[in-house]
Structures are given as structure tokens and as C-alpha cells.
Amino acid sequence: MAKTIVVKQIGSPIRRPDIQRQTLIGLGLNKMHKTRELEDTPSIRGMVAKIPHLVEIIEERG
């Protein structure tokens, strides 16, 4: 079974650069307090690292 992480959106993309909005959409997040369970890959970790003020890792599974 692959490792997964649970990511939660904690910040609004309003008044943020477009690239940060696109990163949120790429993670499957678009509304406040929404969570997603994603595969724990370097690309996903990189996306989360680009917008640490908008998302947080809630849990690591696997």
C-alpha cells in the first residue's frame, strides 16, 4: 500500500498570485477547510512546500 498524506486548505486564495491558485487546484483544493488524501510523492510534497501558508498536512498514513 502506498503512503498517503491528508492535506487541508487553511488559507484563502483571494489576493494571491495566480500560480498559488493553480497549485491549490492541482492539489484538488478550492474551498476553505476542504481536505484531500493524496499520494506521498516528491511532487505533492513540493506543491505543499510552495504554499505552506495556504495548506497544512494533517496526517501521514501508511
At residue 59, the 3 state secondary structure works out as strand
- Cβ–Cβ under 8 Å, residues 5 and 38: yes
Q: Assign residue 51 the CATH number of its domain.
A: 3.30.1390.20
The predicted pLDDT at position 43 comes to 97
Alpha helices (H) along the chain: 18-26, 42-50
pLDDT in tens, 4-62: 999 999 999 999 999 999 999 999 999 999 999 999 999 999 999 999 999 999 999 98
Please tell me the pTM assigned to this model: 0.93
Q: How many distinct structural domains can be found in the chain?
A: 1
Structural domain boundaries, residue 33: 4-61
The predicted pLDDT at position 62 comes to 87
In the structure, what pLDDT confidence band is assigned to residue 1 with cuts at 50, 70 and 90? Answer: low
